[in-house]
Structure 1
Amino acid sequence: MSTSAELIESKLAAQISAVDPEAVAAAIVNHSTHQAKQRFAMNASIVEIIAMAAFLLRLRDIAESTYDMFNTANLMDDQPKGSTARADLLRETREKIAIAGASLEALGFGRSPATVPSPPEKV
């Protein structure tokens, strides 16, 4: 049995997922005057604002994991070619690339990493 709080939460989640946060943001910022931007921002619904906030936080998480991916790739470059450490870091970097790609795809960007051909492995 669902509680009324769970039902409300479910309805809110459905409303949020129906919002295109990029379109809402574009409607706010794509105006030439400050007054027009303000007017469109004030007309945004609470659900639209929550959707934009959630989208921003997901992008921040992806940016953080992408930074970590680049850091791992840099560590890999510091290892001697052919070493076990380099091979382990290459595997870890590729896993992080796949996660970043899948995360971006879940937000509507790009193609799935599974559809992008892999370059020949160099260790």
Structure 2
Amino acid sequence: MSTAAELVETRLAAQIAAVDPGAVAETITGHATHQAKQRFAMQASTVDVIAMAAYLLRLQDIADLTFEMFKTADLMDEQPRGSAARSELLRETREKIAVVGASLEALGFGRSPATVPSPPEKV
């Protein structure tokens, strides 16, 4: 049987998962005046703030992964073509690309092609 603390944690996790952190942030920052931003920030719930904080931390993790991916790709470019070191760094770069992509998808990025602008047509 679940303890009361586990039940509270489960409910809080469900509430956090239901929040769209981007929409909350847009509501807070999407106003011209400092007073309006402050008013909307004060209206945000504790759950909204926790959801935005968790989202920010996940984005920071992805930014760190992306930085490491670029560092590995740069190291790869410094290696002679056809070398074992370049092949290994290419493998590592591809793994990091997959992790970054999956991490972004887990946050909801890349799921809505309708919102992504189409590339210009070639003439």
Q: TM-score, normalised by structure 1?
A: 0.89
Aligned to 2:25: 25
Tell me the alpha carbon deviations over residues 20-78 of structure 1, each in whole angstroms, 9 at most, x when there is no partner: 00000000000011100000000000000000000000000000010000000011011
Aligned to 1:91: 91
Tell me the alpha carbon deviations over residues 86-117 of structure 1, each in whole angstroms, 9 at most, x when there is no partner: 00100100000000001001111115xxxxxx
Mapping of 1:99-114 within 5 angstroms?
A: 99-110=99-110
Tell me how large the CA RMSD over aligned residues is: 0.6
Q: Are 2:9 and 1:5 aligned?
A: no
The code of the aligned residue for 2:7 comes to L
Aligned to 1:78: 78
> Which structure 2 segments of 5+ residues have no match?
112-123
Aligned to 1:58: 58
> Which structure 1 segments of 5+ residues have no match?
112-123
Q: TM-score, normalised by structure 2?
A: 0.89
Distance 1:19 1:106 in 2: 15
